[in-house]
Amino acid sequence: MDRGRIPGYYYDEEKKKYFKIQANHVAPADAKYSKSNVKFEERKAKKRKVEDRSRARRFKQTVRPSQISEHPISGGVGLGRELGLRGHAVNLKDRDAFFGNDAIVSSTEAVFILDIASATSTYRVPVEEESRDLTWLNNRTVAYGEGRRVALFDTRSSGKSTRFQRNLPITAITSPGQSGLHLLVADNRRIDLYDTRMEKTPLFGFRHSHQGPQLQLTTNCSAAGSGLVAALDINNDIQTYNIRTGKVVGMLQRPLVKGKSLMTKLRWTEVAGGAPALQACQDNGLVKWTFGGTEDDEATRSHHRLP
């Protein structure tokens, strides 16, 4: 349609010729050069261009190749080739991907459960829409985003079910704590906590805006954890929430360094005495916030430049 584009004319790729764009009531039925069809194809082309840009950004953010693909037992064949992932974006989550000897991987076409010891795929779950994030709900169930839906896959029965529906595509999903019952699900506008035993509405949630296809999010919700959730927002600031109290804790003060480059790899750790600490990578440095006193106390920040 864009070949030698002439205003007011439609180029038919099949017939290799131009046709004057005509009003719907004038053009023959199903004519490609009718006004409505031309507008439809323009919208499709615009959508395709947006998806291509989004795919290119995801490709840059994808960790390639996974160390699993170099597993000696695989005989050098490579896991990606075995799974048929050539040409597809793959997301191997480092925070929730592993459970015992199993790992989970999402791609644009399927969710895979992998056996680490043998570097083989034990399950392949096709997805109708892109899966941007996934997590283990418990030792037998994988929860993953599929477009705007939260789906569950049970490894015992090989059964898949859609559990929750969102208004926007899912950009993060994780299972806070060790109960195996709750899911923290995010899109570009909200973070919500769900109970998988209950109705399809969230228990509660927080307004949280961010950019991009995936949200940088981490939780400290183990039995001894603080219940804090940290997530990067649209301004590249880290916001914190407490999912035990349902309170918005607030924004963490940024380190005293020049610029405001993107923070990545948010991760909860502990400091001496067992107090929670949050760390993130920024440029060639490591930023760390430590929390003391009550679980909602203001964090103390530090910045360490890596060699």
Residues of the chain with CATH 2.130.10.10: 62-215
pLDDT of residue 286: 83
Q: Smallest Cα–Cα separation from 104: which of 200, 157, 173, 55? A: 173
Question: How far, in Å, CA of 176 to CA of 53, rounded?
Answer: 32
Instruction: Give bridge partners of residue 126 from the DSSP assignment.
Output: 110
pLDDT of residue 168: 94
Superfamily name with CATH number, domain 62-215: YVTN repeat-like/Quinoprotein amine dehydrogenase (2.130.10.10)
Which residues in the chain come in under a pLDDT of 70? 1-4, 55-100, 222-225, 255-260, 292-307
pLDDT of residue 305: 44
160 touches 125 (CB < 8 A): yes
Question: How far, in Å, CA of 170 to CA of 168, rounded?
Answer: 6
pLDDT of residue 68: 47
